[in-house]
């Protein structure tokens, strides 16, 4: 499961980057304000990046906690 979360995080980061670039391109075209869907398109990938990133951040600490609780139980 950890590898699938990590892979998802990588692909969502690519989608986020593409959405941000599209947003800058739409603004640079100078035809007024871009449509709302272009402006807000990076928000969904950003939210997914938040959750997957937090999971990946906590993973080593949870493993360390699990290891330390197992050593206490075996004593």
Give the model's pLDDT for residue 1: 85
Domain that holds residue 36: 2-74
CB 47 within 8 A of CB 25: no
Q: Please count the structural domains in the chain.
A: 1
Segment 29-74, tens digit of pLDDT: 988 888 899 899 999 999 999 999 999 999 999 888 888 877 766 6
Q: How far apart are the first and last CA of the chain?
A: 30
| Predicted local confidence at residue 75, as pLDDT | 60
pLDDT at position 73, please? 63
Confidence (pTM): 0.79
What gap in Å lies between CA 27 and CA 47, rounded to an integer? Answer: 22
> What pLDDT is stored for residue 42 in this prediction?
96
Q: pLDDT of 8-36, one tens digit each?
A: 999 999 999 999 999 999 999 988 888 89
């Amino acid at each position: 499961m950890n590898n699938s979360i990590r892979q998802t995080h990588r692909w969502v980061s690519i989608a986020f980057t593409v959405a941000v670039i599209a947003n800058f391109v739409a603004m640079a075209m100078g035809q007024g304000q871009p449509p709302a869907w272009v402006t807000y398109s990076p928000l969904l990938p950003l939210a997914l990046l938040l959750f997957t990133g937090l999971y990946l951040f906590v993973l080593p600490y949870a493993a360390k906690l699990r290891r330390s609780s197992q050593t206490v139980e075996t004593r």
